[in-house]
Amino acid sequence: MLTRRISNPALRGLVEWVLVIGLAILLALFARNFLFRVTRVTGYSMEPSLSHGDVLILNRFSYLFSSPQVGDIVAFPYPQDPSDFFIKRVIATAGDVVDLREEQFWINDEPINDSFSATPILLPGTMDFPVTVPDGHLFVLGDNRNVSRDSRCVTVGTVPENEMLGRVFIRFWPLSSFGRVE
């Protein structure tokens, strides 16, 4: 190995530490870019599932071999400012027809029956309904539907699957809420 050629023990120890730290940094960068990412919830659009200030770990690896599914909470760049992330729930995938009627969302002529958002929809957004989700896209909503900027707004619209930063996997902070996010 490289350090065996160095005769000075102090210098050899320093080189070993530099190599170990360098390897640790490379592994951390690999994990951050390809496996996991940390992000923070800003705003109240995902309440009660997620709260403003929650720190989340995104699983970036999960969508390398499969597509997002209805019910997944995902993160993606906001189209108007890609440096800002949106965190929303997938409610429809390619080919699904999304409609808003009777203060409720309908998917393929069936009302959404989700336990995390039973509030009537008072703000329909700027999208014309019904909407057929294009191939390779997702229709996403915040769980707190009356304060969320999501796919029913033309500034967001349907979101390309290939722009997903990952699936929300673990709530890291606050520690009192630490655990897997469903």
Catalytic residue IDs: 45, 88
CB distance 84 to 78 below 8 Å: yes
- Taking the C-alpha atoms of residue 121 and residue 103, their distance in angstroms, rounded to an integer, is 5
Cα separation, 45 vs 133, whole angstroms? 22
- Cα separation, 120 vs 97, in Å, equals 19
C-alpha 144 chain-centroid distance? 16
Query: What is the distance between the alpha carbons of residues 149 and 91, in angstroms, rounded to a whole number?
Result: 14
Q: Is the dihedral of CA 107, 110, 116, 118 positive or negative?
A: positive
